[in-house]
Structure 1
Amino acid sequence: MKRIILMLLCCLSLTLLRAQEGVRFESLTFEEALQKAKEENRWIFLDAYTSWCGPCKVMAEQVFTLAKAGVFFNSRFVNVKYDMEKGEGPELAKKLGIGAYPTFVLIRPDGVVHDKLVGGMDVDGIIQRVEHSMKQTETVGTLAVRYEQGERDKDFLLKYLRALSDASEVRRLREVAGILSGQLTDIEKIDSTCWILFDNNDLAPFHSENYWFLLAHRKQFSQQVGQEKVDRRLGMLYTGVLSSIVWGRDTKTTFADVQEIGKVIRTLKTDDKKRLLAYVSLANAYKEKNTSELLKISKKAFPVFSDADVMMMVMPVSVYFRTQEDKAALREFIPVGRTVVPNLKIQENVNYVTYYFDELEKQM
């Protein structure tokens, strides 16, 4: 009798332990996962991550370890995860069209990709998104099948384009956008339904055909989607361009281009105008390799910069001063760099900036 009770208690303990565990990711190759899903008539839940991706780590350590996640995913899916930069990861990233991390791929038992969910979220958020996606008939995966079968009408291409954008499938996104643009008249392009062609860095980068079209038809776009959206789009685009210049990544944008960007920014109706013009001044000084001017502008701009500016301007300007052989300028710049800290609301940024300038000061 005692033996039976002991066995029952062991079984109960094992059941409770399993109920409390998180998502069980199996050590399977992709082909093995496909085979198992087919044999067991279950979907695949694939976590595509990288070692450097912060949100990926949060998902792995704080979301997928929760019992609630385990209860949902373990009973429904063959769960697998792959580092997209190791083993079969790079080939999988290419095969599945993965361009952002984390990406969670839902694959049906027949091996057809159903959907891709991009970005980190809490446990309730991912469960809701997966449940919602599984009920949909028009997802990035199902639309891909129709596209590959030759469907090309405008409404379909627009729908597919939005799904590709959500899934961060850049290569196919550009391909579909090119086909759609070839079917549209200029009047149709300005319609609000086609705003995605211009409100996207991959489809309307600086100096692209879509960028120039947007500039040439700003008034019409503003009437269609609202001036706030148009001005915000241009502001975000220029932020990226100017930041890339100061990081030293963009060597193609000329001094004249920066001047032209400044002219457009002055016409924007946005609260960010002063900040953006500071970006223009910093980019100009960087282009001229004018250390004293860069220091002068930093003294004015840094005290009003906030979290959004840390990686866009504060750090690239800091890198510039750090790599110059002018130690006097660097010594003068360090306290200027610290003036951004009081405006930072994100503690990680406070820690990062403080640590960076502390270490820089130690090297002096």
Structure 2
Amino acid sequence: MKKILLSVLILMGAFVASAQSGIKFEDKSFDEVCALAKKQNKLVFVDVYTQWCGPCLAMAEEVFTLTKVGEIMNEKFVSVKIDAEHGEGVDFAKKYKVRSFPTYYFIDPNTKEVLHRSGGRHEADKFLKIVANSMEPKLRSTYLYTEYEKGNRDPEFMLDYIDGMALSYDRNNLAKAIDELVAIKGDDLTDDVLGELFFEHINDRNHPLFKKFVAKRAKMEKKYGKERVDQKLYQSYRWCNDEQELNAVGDFKGKDYIITYNKLRSKIEQKEYAAADALVMEMFANSSFDQKVVMNDIKFIGRRIFYKEADKEWEQYCVKYLQYIAYNDPERKEAENHYNYARILEKIIKDNPDIHKYFPASVTQEPETGKTQYTMRSSKLKQKPRR
């Protein structure tokens, strides 16, 4: 009996520990959270969200629930969620000038002033880097912006400033800061610091650094390796449909795929569907192409028929593509592949009255109970209000 009781207690303890993993968000007002934080000598973390925001829900379910995130956050912060469109969140969003969702505030509970601000959807490690910066006075966004406005252009400071702009998705200030750092340090891409900044942040093919990167390609390959240089070129030219520009840059791994995909888009736009179909089949059969990339691109093309009027001829081809992807996805874990295939079959059934006699009303009509639309959108998300 004692052994059974001990086992039950151990299981209960494990359940409690599991239930407490992740960030503990207080069910209190902002003022009450600040009072509690003062009492516990902690900072306040505010997650500003909306009920329709997909990235907000993703962070709430995939990052904030992680044990490693909760351990750090619960030790250093008193946390609260604030809905920017309801209750006290409306005034909070106005006062703290919330412009996007999710937005994260790290606040001094004594003054209620923002020490650090960031936002967006991140993997756990990136989010924890944002958290770490909030606890380091000279890495906080408020310090970085203030010093920059004062005219601080010390190279070491500029690196911190650039890192901060990248983490907060402040693309305009990020690009400007990189240009200023280049003006200070020079544009030698073999410099380890500048080289890493280039690979991480410069994707504009018209940027002077990118043009120099292409012009000095042999030197770049010697410094960083051909594989990394090819990967950078592929990422930057991925959606380039200018044949002359592509030819001018020379060969790199993945270029043949970009050219093939551009031909496919052209055939579709010209409604040369038989030729487009032949290209798609070649892409599926080409073992030198990354088939996960191929399937994702063709899936995007195929599902466009759900959002715009499509030729019935082209729709028939799309059925074949979405079926192929659902059947052949190598990882077999992507729910969207099966969702797209089921959705297009349902669309065809509903669009063709003559087919209805072969299917029960539950397929051809809206369901009598529950949801009326087939969707992968989480039931936890509401529709974004129209402004």
SS at match of 1:339: helix
Q: Work out whether 1:194 is the aligned partner of 2:176.
A: no
Letter in 1 for 2:175: R
Shift of the 227–68 alpha-carbon distance from structure 1 to 2, 3 Å rule, reads closer
Q: Work out whether 1:337 is the aligned partner of 2:295.
A: no
Shift of the 126–295 alpha-carbon distance from structure 1 to 2, 3 Å rule, reads closer
Identity %: 22
| Equivalent position of 1:263 in the other structure | 247
> Are the equivalent residues in 2 in contact too, given 1:103–1:119 (CA < 8 A)?
no
RCO higher in structure (CA 8 A, sep ≥6): 2
Q: Work out whether 1:358 is the aligned partner of 2:342.
A: no
| Equivalent position of 2:218 in the other structure | 219
> Are the equivalent residues in 2 in contact too, given 1:307–1:349 (CA < 8 A)?
no
Unaligned ranges ≥5, structure 2: 1-14, 353-387
1:79-228 aligned at under 5 Å gives the runs: 79-83=79-83, 88=90, 95=97, 104-109=104-109, 111-114=113-116, 116=118, 119-120=121-122, 132-133=132-133, 136=136, 138-141=138-141, 142-186=143-187, 188-200=188-200, 203-228=202-227
Name the CA distance, whole Å, in 1 between partners of 2:258 and 2:195: 23
- Comparing 313-322 with 217-226, greater Cα deviation is found at 313-322
Offset of residue 335 of structure 1: 1.0
> Are the equivalent residues in 2 in contact too, given 1:238–1:261 (CA < 8 A)?
no
Name the CA distance, whole Å, in 2 between partners of 1:303 and 1:340: 12
> Are the equivalent residues in 2 in contact too, given 1:198–1:214 (CA < 8 A)?
no
Shift of the 19–301 alpha-carbon distance from structure 1 to 2, 3 Å rule, reads closer
Match of 1:299 among 267, 281, 289: 281
SS at match of 2:242: helix
Unaligned ranges ≥5, structure 1: 1-15, 243-256
Name the CA distance, whole Å, in 1 between partners of 2:307 and 2:315: 6
Name the CA distance, whole Å, in 2 between partners of 1:283 and 1:89: 47
Shift of the 115–223 alpha-carbon distance from structure 1 to 2, 3 Å rule, reads farther
Offset of residue 88 of structure 1: 4.4
Offset of residue 232 of structure 1: 0.8
Deviation sequence 1:138-167 (CA, Å, 0-9, x none): 525243343233210233213321332233
Deviation sequence 1:327-362 (CA, Å, 0-9, x none): 223223321332223134233233333234323433
| Equivalent position of 1:246 in the other structure | none
Name the CA distance, whole Å, in 1 between partners of 2:169 and 2:127: 20
| Equivalent position of 2:259 in the other structure | 277
Name the CA distance, whole Å, in 1 between partners of 2:121 and 2:242: 33
Name the CA distance, whole Å, in 2 between partners of 1:106 and 1:95: 14
> Are the equivalent residues in 2 in contact too, given 1:164–1:170 (CA < 8 A)?
yes
Deviation sequence 1:150-193 (CA, Å, 0-9, x none): 2102332133213322332223212312322333433x345331
Shift of the 174–333 alpha-carbon distance from structure 1 to 2, 3 Å rule, reads same
RMSD (Å) for aligned C-alpha atoms:
4.4
| Equivalent position of 1:245 in the other structure | none
Structure with the higher helix share, 1 or 2: 1
SS at match of 1:205: coil
| Equivalent position of 2:362 in the other structure | none
TM-score of the superposed pair, with normalisation by structure 2: 0.64
Name the CA distance, whole Å, in 2 between partners of 1:68 and 1:221: 38
Shift of the 321–58 alpha-carbon distance from structure 1 to 2, 3 Å rule, reads closer
1:2-13 aligned at under 5 Å gives the runs: none
Name the CA distance, whole Å, in 2 between partners of 1:184 and 1:174: 15
> Are the equivalent residues in 2 in contact too, given 1:197–1:210 (CA < 8 A)?
no
Count matched residues.
Answer: 325
Deviation sequence 1:1-45 (CA, Å, 0-9, x none): xxxxxxxxxxxxxxx99995561334545x886687568643111
Name the CA distance, whole Å, in 1 between partners of 2:217 and 2:292: 29
SS at match of 1:204: coil
> Are the equivalent residues in 1 in contact too, given 2:50–2:83 (CA < 8 A)?
yes
Name the CA distance, whole Å, in 2 between partners of 1:197 and 1:85: 37
> Are the equivalent residues in 1 in contact too, given 2:267–2:275 (CA < 8 A)?
yes
Deviation sequence 1:90-122 (CA, Å, 0-9, x none): 957995786xx6564433445342464764556
1:38-117 aligned at under 5 Å gives the runs: 41-51=41-51, 54=54, 56-61=56-61, 64=64, 73=73, 76-83=76-83, 88=90, 95=97, 104-109=104-109, 111-114=113-116, 116=118
